[in-house]
Structure 1
Amino acid sequence: MKFIVKAGDSSDKGDARPQNEERKLAVDEEGNLSPYNPVTDMTPQEKELKVQEDIPRNLREVQRVLEERVGLNRSFDLVLREMVFGSKRVGIFYCNGFAKDTVLTDIITRLSYVDKEAVSHHTVETFMDMLIPHIQVKSYRKMSEIVGQVLMGGTALFIEGEAAAIAIDAKSYPARSTEEPDLERVVRGSRDGFVETLLINVTLVRRRLRDERFKLEIMQIGKRTKTDVCIAYINDIADADLVQSVKDKIEKVNIDGLPLGEKQLEEAIVNRGWNPYPMVRYSERPDVVSAHLLEGHVCVFVDTSPSVMILPTTFFHHVQHAEEYRQTPFIGTYLRWVRFAGIMASLFLLPLWFLMVMDPALKPAGLEFLGPQKEGTLPLLVQFLLADIGIDLMRMAAVHTPTPLATAMGLVAAILVGDIAVKTGLFINEVILYLALASIGMFATPSYELGLANRITRLVLLIAVAIFKVPGLVIGGTLWLLWLATRRSYNSPYMWPLIPFNAKSFFSILLRRPVLAGKTRLSLTKPVDGTRQPK
C-alpha cells in the first residue's frame, strides 16, 4: 500500500518543472519515497470510481454499469431501449414516468431515416447538430452527469463506440393545475398559484416580470435528493451582498436530501433554532412574489414545493395581504386596520380580560359588566388552557377530516362539546366568548406561521398574568417586544420600521398608500435602484 504526500518547492536545477509546482510523492509501507503515478498508484476505490465515471463504449458494458449504479432491470420504471440508426447501435435510457413519449417518438422517427454515411464520422456531433430535432440537447462524458440528467427526467442516448452520451431534455412532470392557493385567497384578482413544479413556478413570475435583468440562478442541494433550488432576483435592484449571502448559505448546506422542500431549507439557512416566529415569508401567489422582487427582495424557489421563500422579512411583512392592494386605498387601509385589531386581540384580549377578572379595580368606568357572571368548576387559567388546546385539536382534526365529514365534525365540536361543557359548569360563557374572538383574530392573520407563534405568546402572557398579575402583563409584553426587536432576518431588523423607527416606512404600513404615491423602494433591502417611477 502506498500513501500520497505532497512535496514542497523544488530547488533542484536539473528539474525542468517550475519551482513553484507542487509535486506528489508516494510512500510505500517501508517508508521509501517514489514519484506518484496517477494511474498505477490509484487505490482500488479510486480505480473503480474512475471506471464508473467514464462512459463505456460498449452497450453491454453500459447496461452493466447502469444495473450496478441505478438498478436497471430491478427498478421497473427504468428502461434501456436499444435501436439501430444508420450503422450505429444506440441505447435509449429513460425513466418511464418522466419521458415525454410524443416528443421522443418524433425524434426516433427522424433518426430512423438516417443513412450509414451520415453517422460514420463525428457521430456525437452529427447526432446533436443535425439529427436530433429538439431544442435542448447536450453531450456528457461522465456517467454520473448523464445518469443525473435521466433521473431529473431527461433521456440519454448511449452510442456504440462513443465515449460520450447525449441528453435530451424531453420530460413531463406530473403537475396539478395552477389554481388559487387556499391560504391567500382574494375576492378580486388573479386566480393562479404556484404548484410543485419548479419550471411552472418561475414561468408564472417571469410572465409578470418581463425585465431582462430578472435573474434565475439554479443549484442542487441534497446528496440523495439533488433537489433543484432557484434563487430569483432583479439584478439592478437587489443588493449584491444580500444575493451573495443567500447563495453562499445555500451552497454550504450539507444534507442528504430535502424531501420536505422549502421548510427544511429554511431551517438550514436561517438557523432560527427554537424561535417560534417566522424569519422568512412564504407565498404561493406569483403576484405577491413579483411585488417583493420589485422591492429588492430575494426569492428562493424549491422544486416540489408550492411555496416560495421571500428574504429578508420583518414582522410587518407577515401582517399584510394581497386583498388590501386589490381595493381602493381607503378600503385597503380600513381592511388593514381591522386585521391589525384582530391580530392585537389574538395576543392581548384574553390576558387583559383575565387581569380585570383577577383585579376588578382595574376595570374602566362603564365596563363593570365585564367578568364572569358565575364561577366555573375549574379555575379560569385551566379553562383557558383546556379551551385553547381544544381549538388546536379541532383545527388539526379539520385538516385530517375528509371534506364530506368536516361539517359533521364542526357540529359535534360546537354543540356536543362546547354547549354541554358550558351547561355542566366545566367552562363559563365568557371564556368561550373571548377565546372565540381571539381565535378569529388568529385566523385573520395572513401568515399562518405568525398566527401560531402569536398563540404561544398569548399562552405565555396568560401564565404570567396568573402568577404576577399587572407586573406579569407589563413585563411579559415588554420582554416579548424587546425579544422580537433583537431578532434579525439576514441582517435586517425584524421589527423594522418600528424598531429602529423609520417614520416614512411606518406610515406606509399604517396606510395603504396609492400606487403612484410610492416613489421609492423600501430602504430595508438596500436596493441598488431605489426609484419606483423611472423617468
Structure 2
Amino acid sequence: MGLFDKFKNFKSNFTIGDKLNIENSRDISNKLHDNTNYLKDRFKDCSDINFRELKKSLGNNKYGSILLVFTDGLVNNAIINESIIKPINFSHRLDNISDINITLLQDIILINSVKVTKKFDDVIHSILSGETVLLIDGSEEALLLNTRGWESRSVQESPVESVIRGSKEGFVEDIRTNTAMIRRKLKDSSLKIQDLKVGSKSNTSIAIIYMDDIVNQEILQSALNKLEKIKIDGIFDTGYIEQFLEEDTFSIFPQMQITERPDKACGNLLEGRIVILVDGSPDALIFPVGLVQFLQSPEDYYERFIFANIVRFIRFVGFVVASTFPSIYVAVTTFHQELLPSDFVLNIAKGRVEVPFPPVIEALLMEITIELLREASARLPSRIGQTIGIVGALVIGDAAVKAGIISPIMVVVIAITAIGSYIFPHFSTSYSVRFIRLPMILMAATFGAFGIVITWAWIIAHMCKLHSFGHPFLTPFAPINTKDMKDAALRGPMATLAYSPSSASNKNKRGK
C-alpha cells in the first residue's frame, strides 16, 4: 500500500467525532484574545453563558486582562461578586507589578475550591457544571473556581418510602447533598466516594459509594469496569445505570434495589453493598441484593424485633397473595370445587348465575381494569388521582356486579390481591408480582392447581439461576447460609445484627 493509499484510508476512518475529540482536548493559548474567541465560538448562540472581562491597572499605562466565564443560573452570583471580582479589583497586591500570574490570583481569590488546568475540555466542562473559569493574558493555564449555586429541592421526607418511626430525610436531585447526608451518618474514613462522568453529551456525575474495609473488591471492580464501558449520549436517572449493569436483562425480577432514604443506603453500605448516586436523580442504586432485601423496610430495625417480624411475615404472605390469589380462585372454581365447603360453593354459584364469562375471563377483565385505574391515578395530580382511584374502583366494581359482568366474589379476590400488591417497601417489586399474576391465571385456567405448581416451579428455578453481581438471588435460602438467616425472612434481636452478613462481603468476617 502506497503512502497516498494509507492517507486515504486514514482519512476515511477519521470521523467527525474524532475531530471534535481532538479539538476539545486542545491546550489553552497564552493569548487571551485567542482563548476568548475560541470559547465564544464554542458557546455561540448560548445566551446563558456570560463573559466578564476585568481590566486591572499595573502602572506605566499597562493593563492586565482577566476573563471570567460562567453559566447564568448555575452559579451563585454573590460568590462571584464578593469572592472573585471584589478581591481582584481592590487588592493592592496587583498594583505596580509587571504582570498578573495565576499563582498570585490563587492567593487573592476567596474561593475554597480552586483547580488549575491547561485543557479546554476541562474548561468547557467546568463552565457547564456551574464553575467559573478564570483566564488571564499571557498564561496557558486557567483557574476553575467552585461557584456552584443553582436552585434545588430542599431535603424532605420520601413520599414513596415514608415510615412512622425513623428518619424523615430523603435524597434530593443534587448529588453533593446526597453524598453529604450519607457522610454525615457514616463518619468513617473507610467510606469511599468515587466520582465518574457518564454520557457523552450529558456528562452526568455519578458517585460510587462503598465501605472499603467491608466491600467485596471483586464486585466493586466489576461494577467500575461496567460503568466505564457505558456508551450513551445522556444519563438522567439511576434507571439508565441499572439497565446497563444488570446481568439478566430479560428477568422479571430487579437485580438492584432503589431507595430514596439515606438511612437505608447507609445500612446497606454497612452490609458490604455498593451504592450508586446519579446527579439529577433522588434515587440511590444498591447492589448486590437478593429477594429478601426487597421485602425489608428500614422500619423493621427501628421497632422491637417481635413486632418487626410480624410485619415482615405479613409482607411475605402479601407477596404470595398478590401473585397467586386470583389464580387459586380460577383453579378452584374451574377444576377443584370439591376443595371448598358445600355452602361456600353454593354462594359462589349464586353469584355467578348471571355472569356470562368463565372465571378466567372475569379475572383478566378485573386485572386489566385495576391496572388502568392504577396508571390513571398515578398520572393525575395527587389529590385528583387518589379520588379517581378510590371512587373509580368502587363505582366500576359495583356497576360491573349489577350488570352481571363479574361475580361479587371476584371483586373481593381482586381487591385483596390489589391490597397485597401495595405492601412492598420496594415499589419495583410490585411490577414483578403483577407480571407473574397474569400467566399464572392462564396456567390455572388451563391445568388447574397443577398449572399453579408448574408456574411456581418455573419462577423458583429462574430465581435460583438469577444472580446480582455474582450474589445468588435467593441467598440465604439457596444456597443455604445459616449465618445470614439471622436477618432473612425473620430477623433476630438487634444484638445478633452487629456485623455485616457474610454473603455480602468477603472481607468482613467478624460475624462468624
Q: What residue in structure 1 maps to residue 81 of structure 2?
A: 105
1:82 counterpart = 2:53: yes
1:55 counterpart = 2:28: yes
Cα 1:361–1:269 change in 2 (3 A) is same
Task: Give the whole-Å Cα distance in 2 for the aligned partners of 1:515 and 1:223.
Answer: 46
User: Structure 2: which amino acid aligns with 1:67?
Assistant: K
1:427 counterpart = 2:401: no
**Secondary structure in 2 aligned to 1:525?**
coil
Q: CA deviation at 1:294?
A: 0.5
Q: What residue in structure 2 maps to residue 256 of structure 1?
A: 233
Aligned runs of 1:118-517 on 2, under 5 Å? 120-121=98-99, 123-128=101-106, 130-259=107-236, 261-363=237-339, 368-369=344-345, 371-375=348-352, 376-410=355-389, 412-517=391-496
Q: Is the 8 A contact 1:176 1:195 kept in 2?
A: yes
Task: Give the whole-Å Cα distance in 2 for the aligned partners of 1:359 and 1:389.
Answer: 24
Q: CA deviation at 1:507?
A: 4.6
Task: Give the whole-Å Cα distance in 1 for the aligned partners of 2:281 and 2:336.
Answer: 51
- Report the RMSD for the aligned CA atoms in angstroms: 2.4
Q: CA deviation at 1:290?
A: 0.5
Cα 1:242–1:415 change in 2 (3 A) is closer
Task: Give the whole-Å Cα distance in 1 for the aligned partners of 2:101 and 2:391.
Answer: 72
**1:360-393 residue CA offsets vs partner (Å, 9 max, x unmatched):** 4441568844745332122221121121111111
Q: Is the 8 A contact 1:372 1:428 kept in 2?
A: no
Task: Give the whole-Å Cα distance in 2 for the aligned partners of 1:447 and 1:30.
Answer: 60
> Which stretch of structure 1 is more off in the superposition, 468-477 or 425-434?
468-477
Task: Give the whole-Å Cα distance in 2 for the aligned partners of 1:102 and 1:250.
Answer: 37
Cα 1:138–1:354 change in 2 (3 A) is same
User: Structure 2: which amino acid aligns with 1:237?
Assistant: I
**Secondary structure in 2 aligned to 1:524?**
coil
Q: Is the 8 A contact 1:519 1:531 kept in 2?
A: no
User: Structure 1: which amino acid aligns with 2:360?
Assistant: L
> Which stretch of structure 1 is more off in the superposition, 365-374 or 494-503?
365-374
1:93 counterpart = 2:93: no
Q: CA deviation at 1:89?
A: 0.9
Q: 1:64 aligns with which of 37, 41, 59?
A: 37
User: Structure 1: which amino acid aligns with 2:305?
Assistant: P
- What is the aligned length? 493
Cα 1:509–1:118 change in 2 (3 A) is farther
Task: Give the whole-Å Cα distance in 1 for the aligned partners of 2:20 and 2:220.
Answer: 40
| Structure 1 unpaired stretches of 5+ | 4-26, 33-42
Task: Give the whole-Å Cα distance in 2 for the aligned partners of 1:431 and 1:520.
Answer: 47
Q: What residue in structure 1 maps to residue 12 of structure 2?
A: none
1:28 counterpart = 2:28: no
**1:444-497 residue CA offsets vs partner (Å, 9 max, x unmatched):** 011111111111111111101111223211111111111111011101111111
Q: TM-score, normalised by structure 2?
A: 0.91
Q: Is the 8 A contact 1:521 1:527 kept in 2?
A: no
| Structure 2 unpaired stretches of 5+ | 8-15, 58-62
**Secondary structure in 1 aligned to 2:350?**
coil
Task: Give the whole-Å Cα distance in 1 for the aligned partners of 2:371 and 2:270.
Answer: 37
Q: CA deviation at 1:119?
A: 5.7
Q: CA deviation at 1:197?
A: 0.6
Q: Is the 8 A contact 1:222 1:258 kept in 2?
A: yes
Cα 1:469–1:103 change in 2 (3 A) is same
**1:310-334 residue CA offsets vs partner (Å, 9 max, x unmatched):** 1101011100011211211111111
**1:79-102 residue CA offsets vs partner (Å, 9 max, x unmatched):** 101112343211110000111111
Cα 1:286–1:366 change in 2 (3 A) is farther
Q: Is the 8 A contact 2:502 2:508 kept in 1?
A: no
Task: Give the whole-Å Cα distance in 2 for the aligned partners of 1:403 and 1:499.
Answer: 41
Task: Give the whole-Å Cα distance in 2 for the aligned partners of 1:531 and 1:338.
Answer: 31
